[in-house]
Structure formats: structure tokens, C-alpha cells
Structure 1
């Protein structure tokens, strides 16, 4: 069969155009996924929903689970008659791709059985997160201990919380405190920001300002939004007493950097529970600064933003424990 060369040229042109459009659309989906998950991890749930919807519709399981979580959080505050239960649909799509936490949220018998089968297989290969998931299903603390011993940082942190809340596991107060401190220290040294925060607020470190200062700086370097704000407060003099001494962390005042970090938190967030507090403190700091100083602070903030990972809230993946 003979095909005219001009027809082939036209066909190849159409294919190239189609390929370019598909690539562009995929790039847009990837960008939406990245932005949506960043906002979700920061706790900017309303802002994240549109981006997550694009990526979730395209089939990304992580975005599907995150979108379901956003909807679940929103609908928790609604009367039953106003709820759409749309979160179940997104959980189901993520679950169909093997997302264990989505299966746990669905919570029907078949989903829980599938979750246990998947988690058991992964736990058998040494997956500490799967061991934590088995704990979430069974509430058998043996699985939580295995997760912690497998060096899964979130498992170590949750084990410390469980021991702190339920004294029946370790009745002796001294032994219990030592155990909690040990797991918190391991998780903190491993880089788990919530563990760093709790560990640095327990005696004797809570009375050791240089140690507390070091821990809050480490947390801020991870761009944990609460730690960035605390770092900014320390540098901005928010915690100074009447003698000009920072009684919380022992920071030397640096108004430009302090202003910059607080401004960055406000510029990055809208739903942050400390937003109004941060805004009031920034206004107080600004009273002792010139316009040039404030612009220098914003320049420092942009430099920080460019050299650190996206700001986030460091929430637990599934558990509602505090």
C-alpha cells in the first residue's frame, strides 16, 4: 500500500503535537501533586484541595489519600445531613493501589483483612512502618515495639507516647521515664522533629538553655513550621525578660533574622493555628526596626526558603495521638 509522503508528514506532525500536549499535561499534574502535598504537609488543607484533586484524579495514590484526609477533616465538623462522605471514594481509590492507611480508614472487614495481609508481608521483610501499621490495626504493643526496634522514627515516638499515656505497660515510674527518654532520644537524634520538641522539653534538658537552643535550631533546619517560628521568636527577642535575657532558649538578639523567619511563616501559611500570635509578635518586633531592616529580614527569609526543604507541620502519618 502506498502512502503519500505529505500524509506521513502530517501524521508525524500530529503525533509530535499530541506528545507535546501529553507531556505538558503530565508536567502540570506533577506540579499539582508537588504543590498539593507540600500544602497538605504544612496543614494548609483548604489551599491544598484543588491541587490534590488534579493529582488524585490522575491516579496518584499519595494525593488520593491526602485528599481523602482533607475531606475527612473538613467533614468532621459538619452535621451528618451535610456530609458527602466523598473521602470514602478517594480512600477506596488509594486502597486499590495498596495504600495501607487508606484501607485502615475504610475500616470494613475486607479492607482490614487486605491491610493486614499487605502489612504482614512488608513487616516480614523488616519494614518498620508496616509494623507500626500492624500496631494500628491490632493495638498489640508488641508490634509497636518491633517498629521502634526496627528504627522507624515515628514508631519510636508513638511508643514513647503510649508509655506516657498508659502506665500499665511500665508500672514503675522511674523505669517508665527512663524508657520514654530513651525512645525519644533515639527518635530525636534520628531527626524526628516532634521527638526533638518533646525531648528538649523534658528535664534535665528543659533546664539546659544551650541544649534547648541547639534542639530548636535543628528542628528549624528541618523547616518544621513551629520550630521556625520559635527560632524567629528567640532571635527577635520575644522571650526576653526585663533585663534583655532570653529565658526560653538563651538566644542573642538578631532582629533582622528573627523578623525574617516570623515573616516567612506568615507568608507561607494561612491556616496555621499560631498565625495571629505570630502576626502580633511580628508587629511588636517591627517597632524597633527601620524599613531597611525589615527588607533585609525579608531577604534573609527568601534565602532561607531557597536553602531548606518545604516548610511542614510534622504531623503523624495516621495516628491522632498528641
Structure 2
């Protein structure tokens, strides 16, 4: 059974902005990050700009950019266009498994429903066969990501559980989602909730921002302020825009929800960075309003200092991101 890929519900009175869709990442510095700029723009939901940059990178032969260009074009148009399929197939020819899976799913695309799917080099069944051929041997050898991809290929939840037990953060997150939605058998009251919390913690420890944000909800419900402070700061360090907006607001005491020491300079710096997202995800008005609220408390010297802090954060943290699922629907 395929899971309903929706984030676990967040209490809006705690989270100022709920996270959108995210993709798996581990915190790292920008100096270590080799991600193409087009993919960064895609993850920031700047789709039109991303397409222009991804086209350049894809034409230069970057396989990941070819895949993401297919994703961007398909999502922008809401169906599999000939151009999107071309770039998926370009990536698939280099054995990009994500592109192969998306091509296999074309039978469920809107184009299939209206009968205008572009001609493909293989049938969906043939693409699925290729995906299985490439992934199954690695999964049988215990590769965590391949175990998860077998779940995406087969829709068999046993592969998801194997991947989660093998330590793959994305699978651990979706195990939590599946159990929250009623999957699995738990006879003893409270065991389901405990298992959901366990998977979210493991996924959070593996660096998955979506899990961190959902784990924060559990900590909030339990009144674990120490845990809240730790995991919100950790989530912000991944580049997750929702975590950064909450962390920035709380350290600037606008409002003071969980007892962070007051730091107007850093709080304002983080909102300065969030302005770079413009109105991606519809956050523009909120960011502007919150920035003004913090700025009213600051001296001109503090505002000047915040520009340096923002520059340093940007140089030492991953890019801002909404983390859309890599294997999007």
C-alpha cells in the first residue's frame, strides 16, 4: 500500500510557518556542497529561474540537473510534456534511477488520462523492469537507499521497513507517517505513538528536516522545552526555511516561546536571508512583517552587525530550501 505523502499535522499555534514538501539532506557547509545551482533554485521553489539554470546544466550533461529539469517541467505544466520526458530519458540513459521510476509512473500521469502522452522509448512496464533490474541487487546487499527505492518501485511496505531498519532517514520518516496513518499492528495502547516518535527521532538524527519538524510537534505536545530548543536549532542548520523562520523569530523573542536567550542580531540576520526566497511558497508577506517587527527593537549598529552575521551563516550553512521530495508526485 502506497502512503499518502502528506506531512504530519503541525499545531499552528506553535509553528509560525508550516513546512512545505521537503527532500532528504544532512547538514553541511556551503563550502562542501557541490549541488548545481539549478537544483538549489528548484528546492527554493523558484521554478522559472530554476528551469533556465537547469537547462544550461542539463545541456552540459549534468545527469542530476537533467532529472530535476524533467521534474520542474512536469510540475510546472502539471503533466508529462515532451520536453520533460526528453530530459527524464536523457537522465535515464545514464541509469539515473529516479528518472527511470518517474518514466515508469507515466501511466498514472495526467497525460495518460487525457490520452496525449508523448511517445516514449520504453513502455512504463519496461521502465519498471529496468528500475527493478538496477536496484534489486543493491537492495539485496542491504543498501539502505536501494531498499527504499524498491519500496517506491513495488509499493510493498516491507521494503520501506527494511530500509528504515537499515538506517535510511527518508524511509524512517515515512515509517512514522505510515504508522500515524494506521499502518502496522499495535495491540498495546501507546505503542503506536511510541513507535512514531522513535522513527521520527531516528530520521531526525539522520539529518532529515521533515522529520525534525514533525518531531518538534511531539516535543511541543510533551512540553519538552529543552528538546524543542535543540531540535529547532538543528533543523534551522539544515537550511529548512520553516525551521529558520521559527528559530529566527524565537531567538528575537517575536515571540519568546521556548526560552532562547535574546539575540536580535542573529534573528534579524536569518530573516534577511529568508528575504532571498522572495515570495516562494507564499512566505514573502510573513517574512517582511516579521523582519519589521524585529527591526523596530534594534539599533542601527545591531542592524549593521546582522548583515555580517547573515553573510557568515550563508557561507557556513546549506542553502535555504523547502526540501521538496526528490521523487515527487
Cα distance in 1 for residues equivalent to 2:213 and 2:138: 30
Q: Which moved more, 1:199-208 or 1:183-192?
A: 199-208
Structure-1 residue corresponding to 2:166: 150
Q: 1:266 aligns with which of 264, 275, 278?
A: 275
Q: In 2, are the aligned partners of 1:33 and 1:63 still within 8 Å (CA)?
A: no
Match of 1:253, SS state, is coil
Runs ≥4 in structure 1, deviation > 4 angstroms? 203-206
Work out whether 1:62 is the aligned partner of 2:64: yes
Q: In 2 relative to 1, CA 156–168 (structure 1 residues): closer, same or farther, beyond 3 Å?
A: closer
> Alignment RMSD, CA only?
2.2
Alignment gaps of 5+ in structure 2: 1-33, 105-123
C-alpha distance in structure 1 between counterparts of 2:159 and 2:278, whole Å: 36
Distance, in Å, in 2 between the alignment partners of 1:230 and 1:85 is 41
* Alignment counterpart, residue 191 of structure 2, candidates 168, 175, 178: 175
Between Structure 1 and Structure 2, the one with more helix by share is: 1
Residue of structure 1 aligned with 2:98, choices 101, 104, 116: 101
Q: What are the Cα deviations for residues 175-203 of structure 1, in whole angstroms up to 9, with x where unaligned?
A: 21121111111111222221111112115
Question: Can you give the 5+ residue segments of structure 1 that lack an aligned partner in the other structure?
Answer: 1-31, 240-245
Deviations 1:159-217 (A, max 9, x none): 1111112x142254522112111111111122222111111211576512221011111
Tell me what 2:126 maps to: 110
The alignment partner of 1:56 has SS state of: helix
Tell me which of 244, 250, 254 is aligned to 2:263. Answer: 254
Bigger relative CO (Cα 8 Å, ≥ 6 apart): 2
Structure-1 residue corresponding to 2:23? none
Task: Report what 2:41 is aligned to.
Answer: 39
Q: Tell me how far 1:93 sits from its aligned partner.
A: 1.0
> For residues 107-256 of structure 1, what are the structure 2 equivalents within 5 Å?
107=104, 108-165=124-181, 167-172=182-187, 174-203=190-219, 206-239=222-255, 246-247=256-257, 249-256=258-265
TM-score by length of 1: 0.80
Equivalent pairs, count: 277
Which residue does 2:116 correspond to in 1? none
Q: Counterpart in 1 of 2:287?
A: 278
CA distance in 1, matches of 2:126, 2:324: 28
CA separation of 1:299 and 1:85: change in aligned 2, threshold 3 A: same
Q: How far apart are 1:33 and its partner, in Å?
A: 6.9
Q: For the residues of structure 1 that align with 2:246 and 2:140, how far apart are their CA atoms?
A: 41
